[in-house]
């Protein structure tokens, strides 16, 4: 296993040093004796570095006409770099790299002198420093990837109860696509069956698209999950609009986005778009409240157009959203079998196709209609194929989540 290089001293090469009493002919002899000797440090009598003689520069000067006659008997400081890079052995590699870059080209040929409390220890070479930095960056990258991968395990674990509940409640009549753009993402879903007087009376389904993606987005999903749990504990599961209002206040307080007096570049402006859906089996209706995201509703038993129901045009938790903001409950009667689709804008905004434009609501609706008569599983497969084909070689722009649920009223 290679030694981990963290400090300048880890690059130490023990090298002979000389003093100003050495003459240039002595230096010439030393270089002749040892071909691998690239640099000669020059020290004060007390061991502090005075300068550095570079082999190539020295020979370049001593081969000039008349220079041997003029300088052979003179002090070695004649061809010495009087301001070499001198670093303490405990200097961290990242700081050493910055100093080397600042020192300019000469450090690549001369290297640098390593000291301890100002006293000479040895020399270091930039090539070794570059190798060390490459390994350090690779190690940091591996650690970052490992951390993010473990964060993905945590995020998956948080979503697992909702996956289990969906598979139990809708064993063959739902489908879910949850695809973070990166290893972790800012989309979250939540599903719980609801009961009234001990009997199943429907469910609560939630889909949030939090600010950002990757690690920042994943952090926001943790805040959103906590906000949702507190909102349900306080307001119950029957009023989606009240839940959005409570989540708005929670996020604004948590991120200090409720006081415009402290609003500045140091403060975040984060929140979420999304939808909360409550299906009431007894009342045979759907109640939903939405922050910007549309709800798609498709009949399963008739060749009818897909409905796209818009949400309220304000996000949840953002600095610009008032603390006392309210959302509205929209009620949709469910008298025949329907399939509803909760989506995040990563689906609609994905660029692709021959014209390199967004997938869009119309294309999404048409794609879903084409799979109307298919089973939930087959419609999911068909949609994934169509969406990936449309995306083609374009990069994924955002996290993508789509939750499809079949609503079957009591009379069906």
- DSSP-assigned letters across all residues of 177-240: EEE-SSSS-SEEEEEEEEEETTEEEEEEEEEEEESSSHHHHHHHHHHHHHHHHHHHHHH-SS-H
Among 82, 108, 124, the domain boundary falls at: 124
Residue 79 shares a structural domain with residue 226: no
Q: Residue 37 has what pLDDT?
A: 84
Does a structural domain hold residue 222?
yes
Which stretches of the chain score pLDDT less than 70? 1-3, 259-266, 302, 411-412
Q: How far from 241 is each of 248, 296, 334, CA to CA, in Å?
A: 11, 18, 19
Residue 275 shares a structural domain with residue 364: yes
Q: Residue 411 has what pLDDT?
A: 60
Does a structural domain hold residue 131?
no
Among 106, 124, 142, the domain boundary falls at: 124
CATH number, position 76: 3.10.580.10
Give this prediction's pTM.
0.78
Does a structural domain hold residue 145?
no
**Tokens in use for 409?**
């009223």
CATH number, position 185: 3.60.40.10
Does a structural domain hold residue 290?
yes
Does a structural domain hold residue 2?
no
Mean pLDDT over the full length of the chain: 92
Angle between helix 126-169 and helix 214-235 axes, rounded to 10 deg:
30
Q: Residue 408 has what pLDDT?
A: 87
Q: Residue 259 has what pLDDT?
A: 67
Does a structural domain hold residue 339?
yes
Convert the pLDDT of each residue in 38-75 to its tens digit: 889 999 999 999 999 999 999 999 999 999 999 999 99
Does a structural domain hold residue 136?
no
Give the total number of structural domains in the chain.
Answer: 2
Residue 321 shares a structural domain with residue 214: yes
Burial class (CB in 10 A: 0-12, 13-18, 19+), 407: buried
Residue 161 shares a structural domain with residue 73: no
**Tokens in use for 135?**
């390994």
Q: Residue 300 has what pLDDT?
A: 82
Residue of 20, 36, 46, 40 whose CA lies nearest to 123 = 40
Domain that includes residue 30, residue range: 8-124
Q: How far from 277 is each of 13, 341, 411, CA to CA, in Å?
A: 68, 11, 21
Residue 68 shares a structural domain with residue 164: no
Q: Residue 260 has what pLDDT?
A: 55
**Tokens in use for 98?**
């910055």
Residue 361 shares a structural domain with residue 212: yes
Residue 261 shares a structural domain with residue 385: yes
Does a structural domain hold residue 355?
yes
Q: How far is CA 264 from the centre of its chain?
A: 23
Residue 306 shares a structural domain with residue 160: yes
Residue 161 shares a structural domain with residue 112: no
Residue of 185, 212, 114, 79 whose CA lies nearest to 401 = 185
Residue 251 shares a structural domain with residue 366: yes
């Amino acid at each position: 296993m290679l030694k981990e290089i963290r400090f300048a001293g880890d690059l130490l090469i023990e090298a002979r040093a000389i003093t100003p009493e050495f003459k240039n002919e002595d230096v010439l002899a030393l270089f002749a004796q040892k071909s691998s000797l690239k640099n000669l440090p020059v020290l004060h009598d007390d061991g502090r570095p005075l300068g550095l003689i570079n082999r190539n520069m020295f020979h370049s000067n001593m081969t000039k006409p008349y220079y041997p006659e003029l300088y052979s008997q003179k002090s070695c400081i004649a061809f010495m770099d009087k301001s070499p890079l001198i670093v303490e052995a405990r200097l961290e590699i990242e700081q050493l790299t910055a100093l080397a870059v600042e020192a300019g080209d000469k450090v690549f040929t001369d290297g640098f002198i390593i000291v301890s409390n100002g006293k000479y220890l040895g020399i270091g070479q930039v090539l070794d420093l570059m190798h060390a930095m490459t390994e350090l960056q690779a190690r940091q990258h591996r650690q970052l990837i490992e951390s993010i991968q473990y964060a993905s395990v945590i995020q998956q674990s948080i979503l697992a109860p909702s996956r289990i509940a969906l598979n139990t409640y809708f064993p063959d009549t739902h489908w879910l696509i949850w695809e973070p753009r990166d290893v972790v993402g800012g989309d979250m879903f939540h599903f719980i069956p609801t009961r009234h007087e001990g009997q199943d009376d429907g469910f609560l389904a939630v889909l949030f698209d939090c600010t950002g993606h990757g690690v920042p987005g994943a952090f926001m999903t943790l805040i959103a999950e906590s906000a949702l749990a507190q909102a349900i504990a306080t307001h119950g599961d029957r009023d989606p609009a009240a839940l959005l209002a409570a989540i708005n206040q929670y996020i604004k307080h948590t991120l200090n986005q409720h006081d415009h007096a402290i609003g500045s570049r140091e403060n975040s402006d984060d929140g979420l778009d999304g939808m909360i859906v409550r299906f009431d089996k007894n009342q045979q209706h759907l109640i939903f409240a939405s922050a910007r995201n549309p709800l798609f509703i498709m009949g399963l038993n008739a060749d009818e157009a897909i409905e796209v129901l818009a949400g309220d045009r304000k996000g949840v938790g953002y600095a610009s959203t008032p603390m006392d903001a309210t959302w509205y409950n929209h009620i949709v009667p469910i008298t025949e079998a329907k399939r509803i689709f909760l989506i995040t804008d990563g689906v609609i905004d994905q660029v692709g196709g021959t014209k390199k434009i967004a997938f869009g609501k119309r294309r999404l609706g048409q794609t879903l209609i084409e799979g109307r008569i298919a089973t939930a599983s087959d419609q999911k497969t068909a949609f994934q194929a169509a969406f990936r084909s449309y995306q083609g070689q374009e990069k994924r722009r955002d996290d993508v989540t789509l939750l499809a649920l079949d609503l079957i009223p009591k009379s069906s």
